[in-house]
A and B are shown apart, each in its own frame.
Chain A
Amino acid sequence: SQQGEEDPQALSIQEGENATMNCSYKTSINNLQWYRQNSGRGLVHLILIRSNEREKHSGRLRVTLDTSKKSSSLLITASRAADTASYFCATDQNTGFQKLVFGTGTRLLVSP
């Protein structure tokens, strides 16, 4: 089942602009993760935020988590052409073994 749903499905911006992607989920979670996937490649982990955290930063990335709204956002500041990729959120399902459930992703295109 798809736990995380990203919004928008696609985003097109110019270099230097900020990009914001959102993720909504349905059940309670222990943590939420964001991944990036360059075209035709594997996923690369970007950032993990736990349910007791509200905001986390890593370089040009800022992630927020609102457990009351069951949503998270990923902000990429001062975007570069190299940020062009698909971005996925993943949430754990508390079913004994912690499986990650991935959303369908946001395709980001950053034009020079």
Chain B
Amino acid sequence: DVKVTQSSRYLVKRTGEKVFLECVQDMDHENMFWYRQDPGLGLRLIYFSYDVKMKEKGDIPEGYSVSREKKERFSLILESASTNQTSMYLCASRFDRGLLVHEQFFGPGTRLTVL
């Protein structure tokens, strides 16, 4: 079974702090994703990566950056946390065969609260 793990289930940080959210997958998937989930807004894509050291902006990249130094690890960085970044953060990974999209495997989520 594919396993996607996230470093924390719950995290509380203060405004202005630098925050690191880590995600690790164990199935050698090329593609990894970071979403945030807010009530009434569904899942919104922040950043994704299709290979090591490659990253692409999603729909809401402002205030975030990412790092993918190893294939299995994809980190989301909040350079200076703000209260409007309080949210549930979900990491996912996926294997595609050519242009055929397959299922995405999600981690358990990190509920981040910024005070």
| Contact residue among B35, B48, B103 (Cβ-Cβ distance under 8 Å from A45) | B103
One of A13-21, A59-67, A74-82, A101-109 at the interface: A101-109
B54 to chain A, nearest CB (A): 10
Q: What count of chain A residues pass the 8 Å CB interface test?
A: 25
Question: Contact at B99–A30, with CB atoms within 8 Å?
Answer: yes
Q: Is A12 in contact with chain B by the CB < 8 A criterion?
A: no
Question: Contact at B108–A45, with CB atoms within 8 Å?
Answer: no
Q: Is B62 in contact with chain A by the CB < 8 A criterion?
A: no
B44 to chain A, nearest CB (A): 8
- Hey, which chain A residues are within 8 Å of B102, CB to CB? 48
Cα distance, A16 to B102, chains bound together (Å):
31
B residues at A contact (CB < 8 Å) = 4, 35, 40-43, 45, 48, 50, 56, 58-59, 88, 90, 92, 96, 99-109, 111
19 chain-A/chain-B pairs, Cβ below 8 angstroms: A1-B59, A2-B42, A31-B101, A33-B104, A35-B104, A35-B106, A41-B108, A41-B109, A42-B92, A42-B108, A43-B92, A44-B106, A45-B105, A98-B101, A99-B58, A100-B101, A102-B42, A103-B42, A104-B41
Q: With contacts A48-B103, A98-B99 known, is A40 near B43, CB below 8 A?
A: no
